[in-house]
Structure 1
Amino acid sequence: MKMNSSKVFFLSFMIVGVMICLCSNNWLFIWAGLELSLITLLPIMQTKLMITSESMMKYFLVQSISSGLLIIGLMIILTNTMSNYFIMTVAILMKMAVAPFHSWLISVIEPLQPLAMMLMLTVSKISPLMILSFTQISISVIIFITLTTGSIMGLNQSAVKKLIAYSSIFNMGLIIMAIKNNFIWSFYLLVYSMLILMLIWILNKMNSIYTNQMILNEELTVNKYALWINLLSLGGMPPLIGFSIKLVIIEFSISKMMIMNLLVMILMSTVVMFFYLRMSYLTLMFYSYSPKWNMHNTKKISSLIIILNLILTPFILLIKTLN
């Protein structure tokens, strides 16, 4: 997608809204920053396709309802002596598309361009996660439903964007497992954002809307290898970078005695890895006119994606050992 002055303007204000939300110590300014970052995503979503208007309307309606619930929750917290974070938590979970409030994301994300899809799955989640870290309510049931929904529902999907959406829902379940530790969920979101950015770039280069279309692309062999490595990293295969963030979540869950959530996470991670491997199997293992070892047309960015996935985890573990 070409970046014109209007999109740069709205993208800048989206980042400003996130910074306002992160730097404020007042609920009113936090809400204002949240709304600024969310409403500026609407113009970025706009394309020439008619279906995009439907997605923008769905996104606007969902965010309006959740914003109204958030205001009601804040009023209850500020007026009552006994803080009740239930309504506020529901509003934040709806904004983040966490199960069982995830249905709108699946329909909204399908016609989006790569930039809007990446922003919706990464940057727009920062402010709600920060607000959720302030709440004092147990969300273990939500974590279980999110992990189960994100993994099971992705099994019968053939559309690439829907697979990415369900993968995002699953990873949001892992992030909110560590929501009480700001460093861990921030680190997880940072690494996940990097991985999802590389995944969206590769799929955009391959011009694949459905998984079976990946077989037909014969020119970008190195991109198929980069896609394979990136999907393994997202699934948490050692020694790739995605393994390090899964390892941090496992250590945190053990330290907080979240044994049931940890068991569900490990079991559902195998299911997620299954549909990741199904995508890479279609790209690499099927019959091809060109030899798989023919990599003369090596792309620098694809090679960089492979190198980053391979070397970052040993580097992080080395830093941790030295400290």
Structure 2
Amino acid sequence: MTFPLSYFLFFFSLVLGPIISISSTSWFGAWIGLELNALSFIPLITLSMNPYYSESALKYFLIQALGSAMLIMSSFLFTSLLKLASIMLFLALLLKLGSAPFHFWFPQVMEGLGWPQAFLLMTIQKLAPMILLSYLIASSLVIKMTLLAAIISAMVGALGGLNVTYLRKIIAFSSINHMSWMLAALSIGDSFWLFYFLIYSLIVLSVTTTFHSLQTFTLSDLIQSDYSSPYNAALISMNFLSLAGLPPLTGFIPKWFTIQIMVNLNLFIPLFFLLASALITLYFYLRIIVSFLIMYNPSMSFNIKSKSLTISSPTFTMSLTLNFLGLLLPVYFFIV
């Protein structure tokens, strides 16, 4: 599904919302930007009269409204109870992000979206709340809460993706897991999480572009898609491995930076949970890839229905080059 020309107005306001939130000098202006961003995203979800799209739009609207109510309530408390107001504001932004322990809505909303909308939800919709969270990193209490949220998100994102066959749900739990790394990098400094967010957005763009072109939403759809070329199998495998952060692929670069900085700051306990969750996510990605490659074997594909090639070669080349960027540029090992 692509966006019609008339929907570019909503896309413009979708991008304008985070800009207003980031450049605002008050929490009221930041709230206006978040509302503009959320209300612009809902028409982009409901492009057609589909009950799944409508259900996801309603869930997204209710959650964002709840987060906005918490944000406004916390602003009332800033005059008298500064610590409580900071905690409530922090929790409201976590709810808008879909980070654990307020992750319950994120996989359900993702399950009813198309791949272009899923890409927007995992990238642009997270930008403004993350930058507003960085404004709160001024006290030791908020830093400890951020690291605690990172630990919970890491374990929820890793364990939630096990035994899941829907690709959008797998990518949703993977996004929650990556959110834990971004929260850990956020507690260290702004430049680290921005770099992680940029690399993550590029990898997610590669994954969602591939799946949107193949029109695959479940593992069975992926198995029954076109396997006539080893190039297709290599691309999808590299997408998953890069998203899991396997070295030396591109997804490992921001994790390597974050690991080194956390070791230098003696943050060993959060780092242990992050690395353990990374191993679990790598396990369920490898499970998908192994079954994918087994079914790709011509001797095993007697019951697979062949399809015509639906992805253009430039799209494949761009995605494959992006995931191999870490292999082509190993100089990052010597930067930090």
Using the TM superposition, give the Cα deviation of residue 300 of structure 1 relative to its aligned residue in structure 2, in angstroms. 2.1
* Equivalent-residue separation in structure 2 for 1:205 and 1:116 (angstroms): 14
Q: Does 2:166 align with 1:159? A: yes
Q: Does 2:316 align with 1:309? A: no
Using the TM superposition, give the Cα deviation of residue 86 of structure 1 relative to its aligned residue in structure 2, in angstroms. 0.9
Using the TM superposition, give the Cα deviation of residue 101 of structure 1 relative to its aligned residue in structure 2, in angstroms. 0.9
Residue 253 of structure 1 is matched in structure 2 by 262
The verdict on how the C-alpha distance between 1:128 and 1:71 changes in structure 2, with shifts beyond 3 A counting, is same
1:203 is aligned, of 203, 211, 228, to: 211
The verdict on how the C-alpha distance between 1:290 and 1:214 changes in structure 2, with shifts beyond 3 A counting, is farther
Contact (CA 8 Å) 1:211, 1:282: kept in 2 or not? Answer: no
Normalising by structure 1, what TM-score? Answer: 0.91
Residue 276 of structure 1 is matched in structure 2 by 285
**Deviation per residue, 1:112-161 (Å, 9 max, x gap):** 11221111111000110011112231223222111001001111111111
The Cα RMSD (Å) is 2.3
- Structure 1: runs of 5 or more not aligned: none
Residue 178 of structure 1 is matched in structure 2 by 185
Q: Does 2:221 align with 1:213? A: yes
Using the TM superposition, give the Cα deviation of residue 256 of structure 1 relative to its aligned residue in structure 2, in angstroms. 2.3
Which SS does the other structure have where 2:251 is aligned? helix
Using the TM superposition, give the Cα deviation of residue 217 of structure 1 relative to its aligned residue in structure 2, in angstroms. 1.9
Using the TM superposition, give the Cα deviation of residue 311 of structure 1 relative to its aligned residue in structure 2, in angstroms. 2.7
* Equivalent-residue separation in structure 1 for 2:66 and 2:296 (angstroms): 49
**Deviation per residue, 1:166-192 (Å, 9 max, x gap):** 000000011000113111111111110
Residue 299 of structure 1 is matched in structure 2 by 313
Using the TM superposition, give the Cα deviation of residue 214 of structure 1 relative to its aligned residue in structure 2, in angstroms. 2.0
Using the TM superposition, give the Cα deviation of residue 248 of structure 1 relative to its aligned residue in structure 2, in angstroms. 1.1
Residue 49 of structure 2 is matched in structure 1 by 48
Using the TM superposition, give the Cα deviation of residue 244 of structure 1 relative to its aligned residue in structure 2, in angstroms. 0.4
The verdict on how the C-alpha distance between 1:220 and 1:174 changes in structure 2, with shifts beyond 3 A counting, is farther
The verdict on how the C-alpha distance between 1:72 and 1:298 changes in structure 2, with shifts beyond 3 A counting, is closer
Contact (CA 8 Å) 2:227, 2:233: kept in 1 or not? Answer: no
Residue 62 of structure 1 is matched in structure 2 by 63
Identity %: 27
Contact (CA 8 Å) 1:218, 1:289: kept in 2 or not? Answer: no
The verdict on how the C-alpha distance between 1:313 and 1:31 changes in structure 2, with shifts beyond 3 A counting, is farther
Greater Cα offset, 110-119 or 280-289 = 280-289
Contact (CA 8 Å) 2:167, 2:219: kept in 1 or not? Answer: yes
* Equivalent-residue separation in structure 2 for 1:314 and 1:2 (angstroms): 32
* Equivalent-residue separation in structure 2 for 1:32 and 1:85 (angstroms): 19
- Structure 2: runs of 5 or more not aligned: 302-308
